[in-house]
Amino acid sequence: MTAFEFAEGYSAYLLLVVLFAIGLYGMMMKQNLIKKIMGMSIVQSSVILFFIVSAYKDDATVSVIDYARGVTNPDLYLNPLPHTLMLTAIVVAVVTLGVSFALVIMIYKRFKTLHEPTLRELMK
């Protein structure tokens, strides 16, 4: 398999890994806490999409038996498990976002800034 074929075949996964890296970059390098939260959200979304992409099949449908399509060939149906798992993961991501915003509000009320170097200066 040449590098080009690899990139073509796994393009979605490669994109998601790049997305994961972008999120990590945002969390590490950005100095504003809200931007850090955005990075965190990107990381979580990339993982969620990773599961979804892993369940993708060409020309397949939802896992409800459809006699018109035929019931003997499993290639015609998607694996529904990753999607359902990711519903739970989305809930977790939303709750994490909620908690992080609550923390950011508390930080802003106390220090009147969300700029990390300034915060560190203020907390010495």
Partner 1 sequence: MSDSNLPLLIPFTFLLAALFVPLAGSVRRWASQPLAVAAALFSLGCSVAGMARVFASGTFRHYLAGWQPPIGIEFVFDPLAAFFLVMITGVGCLVLIYSGPIAVEEILGKRIGFYSLAMLLLAGLTGMVVTGDLFNLYVFLEISALASYALIAVGDQRAPYSAFRYLALGTVGASLYLMGLAFLFMSTGTLNMAEMAAILPYVNQQPQVVVGIVLILLGAGLKMALFPMHAWLPDAYTNASSPATALIAPIGTKVAVYLMIRVLIISGFPAIITIISWVAAVGIIAGSILAIGQSNLKRMLAYSSVANIGYIVLGVSLANPLAFIGAVLHILNHALMKAVLFMSAGGIFSKLGTLDIFKLRGLPKKMPFTTAAFLIAVFSMVGIPPTGGFFSKIYLIFGAIEASAWVFVAAILISTVLNFFYFFRVIEFSFFKPYAKTEDPAQEQKSETLKMDEMSMSMLLSTLILAAAIVAVGVYNGEIVDNFIAGAVPGF
**Cα–Cα dist 44/78, whole Å:** 23
Q: Which is nearer to partner 1, 24 or 78 (CB)?
A: 24
DSSP secondary structure code for residue 124 in this structure: -
* Contact characters 2-21, partner 1, x per CB under 8 A: ------------------x-
Is residue 115 helix, strand or coil?
A: strand
CB of 60 to partner 1, least distance (A): 16
Q: Which of residues 54-113 bind partner 1 (CB under 8 A)?
A: 54, 81-82, 85, 88-89, 92, 95-96, 99-100, 102-104, 106-107, 110
26: left (phi over 0), alpha (psi -120 to 50) or beta: alpha
Asked if 40 contacts 24 with a C-beta cutoff of 8 angstroms, the reply is: no
Amino acid of residue 81: L
Q: Under the rule (CB under 8 A), what is the footprint of partner 1?
A: 20, 24, 27, 33, 36, 40, 43-44, 47, 50-51, 54, 81-82, 85, 88-89, 92, 95-96, 99-100, 102-104, 106-107, 110, 119, 123
